[in-house]
């Protein structure tokens, strides 16, 4: 009995370590946004550079997730997790020391590589370790960390940038990462499914090149054709993987599971909308509303407040409504919050109204995040938990990169359409930092606010698509449940 309690206790300690590792990489996806205006000023970044600082992390993250999800299944998830944390620490050190835009962008790529090892292994260890009621609680913790840390990022970034320097948003990862490695060695269980590593180099190249080309084409004005090339490469990747079966990098048979297929489509759309808004809002708050970095961080922290409020009730809501309906409720609140944000930003209403809109959005985020993750993996077998979790994480990360790229592209296009070229160019390339260098700054700020509201409107469209997808997830999960019940009765 005592041994069983010790094993159970170690399992929950391990969950805490995994949650801490997850916190590092999730924070890094959102902590940079609020510091971007200061980084732009410090290193002389253009809007394109700023988009790459935000997006390249997610592009590299998405490119390697499938590979490391599979490697974790075969060679050991703890080993890949700890290696990923170590690489992430290295990337953080390089980012903190970067003296040019290129060096910072390269460091973000290293961070993305480390993150791509951490995220799928945390989720697959949870999926393989916990069962029954414990599994529901563990997924609730995992989802709460995902939502909460993503929302806390702007506040922490604002504080570190204001109290110290923007470099501390990266330096803080180093001691935390070292502690996670030490505790991971002691408490995280070894976990693997075994098998052989599929030799699917072409699949890896197609997926990485396809996702990279799409984001590159959206960010670089002169390379729009790359978007089409990327889409074609991703289509070829899907066809190639469907022919390779057991030796594939991505097991396309997973998409025969309705909840997995529709859940991933929903997660991708939601991630695109979420990160489009997160990219734009700090630029708007600092350059149009003229808030300090810390003040902007507090406004964006409203998302964290909403997520924390929802975190305590999310599991109970899921138990009462069912996971699928809880996701629908959460995404409905996200849509309502972002719709309100569009109205506030376009109408240049008081910042307090934007804060309230973000609280509503955060509540929805806290309710939907954990349950959507659980739904996507509900019918995935433990032996495929690594590749299953890596697939849904890849979709989310690609959506994140796409969100920042789309938001920046829409912002630049609207500024070019509404301002004279002599003004639009500097304002767009500085991501709004040059607004007050021109006569008539108020009218330029208004044009920037309208462009920002258009970008947020695009984010809203993606969230609405995610909401529609979540309704479909509910329908197929309900049908699947009836099918299982009829088989059990028969």
Confidence tier at 448 by pLDDT (50, 70, 90): confident
Q: Are 170 and 17 in contact (CB under 8 A)?
A: no
**Range picked from 170-179, 253-262, 267-276, 384-393 for highest mean pLDDT:** 170-179
Confidence tier at 345 by pLDDT (50, 70, 90): confident
Confidence tier at 279 by pLDDT (50, 70, 90): confident
Q: Are 428 and 411 in contact (CB under 8 A)?
A: yes
Predicted confidence at residue 191, as pLDDT, reads 67
Rounded mean pLDDT of 129-135?
69
Considering the domain architecture, whether residues 91 and 235 belong to the same structural domain is answered as no
Predicted confidence at residue 351, as pLDDT, reads 82
In a domain? residue 390? yes
8-56 tens-digit pLDDT: 567 788 888 888 888 888 787 777 877 888 888 888 887 778 878 877 8
Question: Under 8 Å CB-to-CB from 279, ≥6 apart: which residues?
Answer: 33, 51, 54, 403, 404, 407, 408, 455
230-240 tens-digit pLDDT: 889 988 988 88
Considering the domain architecture, whether residues 65 and 213 belong to the same structural domain is answered as no
Considering the domain architecture, whether residues 181 and 255 belong to the same structural domain is answered as yes
Considering the domain architecture, whether residues 297 and 378 belong to the same structural domain is answered as yes
Confidence tier at 270 by pLDDT (50, 70, 90): confident
Predicted confidence at residue 168, as pLDDT, reads 92
Q: Measure the CA–CA gap between 117 and 397, rounded to whole angstroms.
A: 13
Q: Is pLDDT above 80 for 360?
A: yes
Q: CATH code at 277?
A: 1.20.1250.20
Considering the domain architecture, whether residues 191 and 204 belong to the same structural domain is answered as no
Confidence tier at 7 by pLDDT (50, 70, 90): low
Q: Is pLDDT above 90 for 463?
A: yes
189-229 tens-digit pLDDT: 776 665 555 567 788 788 778 877 877 777 766 566 888 88
Considering the domain architecture, whether residues 110 and 211 belong to the same structural domain is answered as no
Angle between helices 441-489 and 351-377 (to 10 degrees): 30
Both tokens of 383, joined, read 């032996």
Considering the domain architecture, whether residues 138 and 241 belong to the same structural domain is answered as no
Q: Are 438 and 285 in contact (CB under 8 A)?
A: no
Q: Measure the CA–CA gap between 343 and 346, rounded to whole angstroms.
A: 5
Rounded mean pLDDT of 407-417?
84
Domain end among 248, 270, 287: 248
Rounded mean pLDDT of 287-312?
78
Rounded mean pLDDT of 385-391?
71
Predicted confidence at residue 469, as pLDDT, reads 87
Q: Average pLDDT, whole number, for the chain?
A: 79
Per the structure, the complete domain to which residue 189 belongs is given by 2-198+249-483
Q: Measure the CA–CA gap between 203 and 294, rounded to whole angstroms.
A: 44
Predicted confidence at residue 291, as pLDDT, reads 81
Both tokens of 228, joined, read 């089409």
Q: Locate tokens 């996971």: which residue?
A: 323
Domain end among 190, 214, 248: 248
146-188 tens-digit pLDDT: 666 766 777 788 888 888 899 999 999 999 999 999 998 888 8
Q: Which of 174-178, 300-304, 459-463 has the lowest mean pLDDT?
A: 300-304
Considering the domain architecture, whether residues 141 and 8 belong to the same structural domain is answered as yes
Q: Are 327 and 371 in contact (CB under 8 A)?
A: yes
Considering the domain architecture, whether residues 192 and 143 belong to the same structural domain is answered as yes
Confidence tier at 487 by pLDDT (50, 70, 90): very low
Confidence tier at 488 by pLDDT (50, 70, 90): very low
**% of the chain with per-residue pLDDT over 70:** 83
Q: Which of 40-44, 107-111, 430-434 has the lowest mean pLDDT?
A: 430-434
Predicted confidence at residue 34, as pLDDT, reads 77
Looking at the structure of the chain, the number of domains it has is 2
Considering the domain architecture, whether residues 324 and 411 belong to the same structural domain is answered as yes
**% of the chain with per-residue pLDDT over 90:** 14
Q: Is pLDDT above 80 for 107?
A: yes
Considering the domain architecture, whether residues 232 and 260 belong to the same structural domain is answered as no
Predicted confidence at residue 1, as pLDDT, reads 43
Which letter does DSSP use for residue 196 in this model? P
Considering the domain architecture, whether residues 14 and 162 belong to the same structural domain is answered as yes
């Amino acid at each position: 009995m005592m041994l069983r309690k010790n094993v159970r206790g170690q399992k929950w300690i391990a969950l805490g370590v995994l949650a801490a590792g997850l916190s590092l990489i999730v924070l890094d996806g959102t902590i940079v946004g609020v510091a971007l205006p200061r980084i732009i000023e410090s290193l002389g970044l253009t809007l394109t550079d700023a988009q790459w600082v935000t997006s390249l992390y997610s592009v590299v993250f998405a490119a390697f997730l499938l590979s490391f999800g599979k490697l974790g299944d075969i060679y050991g998830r703890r080993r890949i997790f700890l290696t990923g944390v170590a690489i992430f620490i290295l990337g953080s050190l390089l980012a903190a020391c970067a003296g040019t835009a290129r060096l910072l962008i390269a460091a973000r790529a290293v961070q993305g590589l480390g993150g791509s090892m951490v995220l799928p292994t945390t989720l697959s260890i949870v999926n393989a370790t916990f069962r029954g009621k414990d599994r529901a609680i563990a997924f609730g913790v995992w989802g709460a960390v995902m939502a909460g840390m993503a929302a806390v990022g702007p506040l922490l970034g604002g504080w570190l940038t204001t109290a110290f320097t923007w470099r501390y948003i990266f330096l803080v990862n180093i001691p935390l990462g070292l502690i996670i490695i030490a505790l991971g060695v002691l408490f995280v269980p070894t976990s693997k499914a075994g098998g052989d590593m599929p030799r699917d180099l072409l699949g890896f190249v197609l997926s990485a090149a396809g996702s990279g080309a799409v984001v590159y084409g959206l960010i670089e004005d002169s390379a729009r054709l790359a978007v089409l090339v990327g889409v074609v490469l991703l289509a070829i990747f899907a066809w190639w993987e469907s022919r390779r079966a057991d030796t594939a990098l991505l097991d396309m048979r997973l998409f025969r599971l309705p909840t997995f297929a529709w859940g991933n489509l929903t997660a991708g759309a939601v991630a695109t909308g979420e990160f489009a808004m997160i990219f734009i809002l700090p630029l708007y708050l600092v350059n149009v509303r003229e808030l300090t970095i810390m003040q902007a961080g507090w406004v964006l922290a409203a998302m964290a407040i909403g997520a924390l409020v929802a975190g305590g009730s999310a599991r109970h809501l899921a138990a009462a409504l069912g996971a699928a309906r809880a996701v629908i409720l959460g995404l409905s609140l996200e849509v309502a919050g972002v719709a309100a944000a569009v109205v506030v930003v376009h109408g240049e209403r008081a910042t307090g109204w934007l804060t309230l809109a973000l609280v509503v959005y955060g509540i929805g985020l806290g309710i939907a995040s954990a349950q959507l993750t659980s739904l996507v993996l509900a019918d995935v077998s433990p032996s495929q938990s690594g590749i299953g979790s890596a697939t849904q994480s890849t979709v989310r990360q690609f959506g994140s990169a796409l969100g920042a790229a789309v938001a920046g592209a829409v912002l630049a296009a609207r500024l070019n359409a509404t301002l004279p070229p002599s003004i639009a160019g500097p304002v767009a390339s500085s991501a709004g930092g040059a607004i007050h260098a021109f006569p008539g700054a108020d009218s330029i700020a208004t044009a920037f606010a309208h462009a920002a509201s258009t970008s947020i409107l695009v984010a809203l469209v993606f969230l609405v698509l995610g909401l529609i997808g979540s309704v479909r997830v509910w329908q197929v999960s309900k049908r699947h449940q009836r099918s299982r019940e009829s088989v059990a009765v028969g």
